[in-house]
Amino acid sequence: TEDLLDKLSVSLTGEELDIIEKLYHAMKLEIEFFSAQPLDQASVVPLTKDHNPAKDCLMIFSNFDLTCSVVDSSAILAEIAIVTAPKSDQNQPEPQISRMSSTELRNTWGLLSRQYTEEYEQCIKSIMPSEKVEEFNYETLCKALEQLSDLEKWANSRVIESSVLKGLNVEDIKRAGERLILHDGCSSFFQKVVKNESLNANVHILSYCWCVDLIRSAFSSG
C-alpha cells in the first residue's frame, strides 16, 4: 500500500500530502478496529443431500466488500483517479488522455455515489420479502439477483458516461487489489472449493465495485 501511495503522491503539494497522510492513517485505524473485533464461531453447514458431481451443481454466492475484504473497496478506483488526476491549474500534455481535474472528479464521484446508494437501498427494500419465508426458493433468488444485475448495469453506464474513471492505469488497479486485506480463511476457502475435484460448484462473488481486475487481484494475491 505504501509503494502505491508513494507513486500516486509524487505530483502532490505539501498540503495535499498532509491530507493523504491523515486519510491513510485513518484507514489503518479502521483496519485495526475491524481486525480487533471478535469473530463469530465458524459453523459447518451440511448439505441437504449427498453431493453427486455428475448431477448436482452447488451454487455459492458471496458478497465481497466487508465480507471477504476487511475494508470497503468501492471507492478505491475513484481515489486512484482523483489522486492521479491533473490539478485544475495544470495543463495536460497533448499525448495524454484528456481528464477532469481532481476537484471535478471528487464532486462527480460524490454525486454518483449518493445516487447509487439511494437506488441500491431501494432495490434491496423492494426484493426483500415482507413476510417470513418458510422455504428456499431458487427462482425467487434468481429474480432478485436479476434486479440487482439491472441496477449494476445502470450504475456502470452512468460511471462510463461520466468519464470519472477515464485514463486509469490497469496496473495501478491491480496493485491496489493485491494490497487489499481479506478476512482470515476467506481466500483459502474459495481455493479449496475450486481445487476440490469431487465437488461440482460455481462460485459467484457479488460486489458493487466497478472493476473485476481489482477483485481478481485481491484473491490471486491472498
Residue 206's beta-bridge partner residues?
A: 63
pTM: 0.56
Q: What is the pLDDT of residue 147?
A: 92
Residue 73: which domain range?
A: 2-40+53-88+97-221
pLDDT 10s digits, 8-62: 777 778 788 788 788 877 777 777 776 776 665 555 665 556 777 888 888 888 9
- Cell numbers 458516461 correspond to what residue? 161
Whether residue 180 is contained in a domain is answered as: yes
Q: What is the pLDDT of residue 169?
A: 85
Whether residue 152 is contained in a domain is answered as: yes
Whether residue 48 is contained in a domain is answered as: no
Q: What is the pLDDT of residue 95?
A: 46
Whether residue 168 is contained in a domain is answered as: yes
- Mean pLDDT score, 201-210: 81
User: Cα–Cα distance between 33 and 26 in angstroms, integer?
Assistant: 10
Q: At residue 104, what is the residue type?
A: E
- Mean pLDDT score, 103-116: 88
If one counts the domains in the chain, the total is 1
pLDDT 10s digits, 169-197: 889 889 888 988 899 989 999 999 888 88
pLDDT 10s digits, 125-177: 998 888 887 888 888 888 988 998 899 888 889 988 998 888 888 898 898 88
- Cell numbers 498532509 correspond to what residue? 18
Residue 182's beta-bridge partner residues?
A: 69
Whether residue 13 is contained in a domain is answered as: yes
Whether residue 46 is contained in a domain is answered as: no
Q: What is the pLDDT of residue 159?
A: 86
Residue 99 and residue 165 in contact, taking contact as beta carbons nearer than 8 Å: no
Whether residue 184 is contained in a domain is answered as: yes
Whether residue 21 is contained in a domain is answered as: yes
